Amino acid sequence: MSTGPLLRVEGLCKHYGGGGGLWGRTPPVRAVDGVSFHVQPRETLGLVGESGSGKSTTGRLVLQLEPATAGEVWFEGRNLSDLSTAALRAVRARMQVVFQDPYAALDPRMTVGDFVAEPLVIHRAVSSRSEREDRVAALFRRVGLNPDFMRRYPHEFSGGQRQRVGIARAIALGPSFIVADEPITALDVSIQAQVVNLFQDMQQEMGIAFLFIAHDLNMVRYLCQRVAVMLRGRIVEMGPVEAIFGNPLHAYTRALLSAVPVPDPDVERGRQRIRLSAADLTPPPGAALVEAAPGHFVLR
Ligand X SMILES: Nc1ncnc2c1ncn2[C@@H]1O[C@H](COP(=O)(O)OP(=O)(O)OP(=O)(O)O)[C@@H](O)[C@H]1O
Binding site for ligand X (CB under 6 A): 16-17, 29, 31, 49, 51-57
CB of 78 to ligand X, least distance (A): 25
Q: Are 292 and 298 in contact (CB under 8 A)?
A: yes
200 phi and psi angles, rounded to 5 deg:
-65, -40
Q: Which lies closer to ligand X via its Cβ, residue 171 or residue 267?
A: 267
How far is it, in rounded angstroms, from Cα 45 to Cα 143? 22
Which residue lies nearer to ligand X by CB, 28 or 144? 28
Pick between residue 161 and residue 253 the one whose CB is nearest to ligand X: 253
Minimum gap (Å) between residue 108 Cβ and ligand X: 23
> Is the separation of the CB atoms in 258 and 274 below 8 Å?
yes
Sheet holding 7-16, edge to edge: 29-39, 7-16, 70-75, 78-79
- The least distance separating ligand X from the CB of residue 17, rounded to whole angstroms, comes to 6
* Residue placing its CB nearer to ligand X in the complex, 64 or 111: 64
Beta pairing partners, 230: 235
What is d(CA 247, CA 254) in angstroms, rounded to the nearest whole number?
9
Residue whose CB is less far from ligand X, 111 or 185 = 185
Q: Tell how far CA 257 is from the center of its chain.
A: 20
In the complex, minimum distance from the CB of residue 44 to ligand X, in angstroms, rounded to a whole number: 18
Provide, rounded to whole angstroms, the least separation between the CB of residue 297 and ligand X: 19
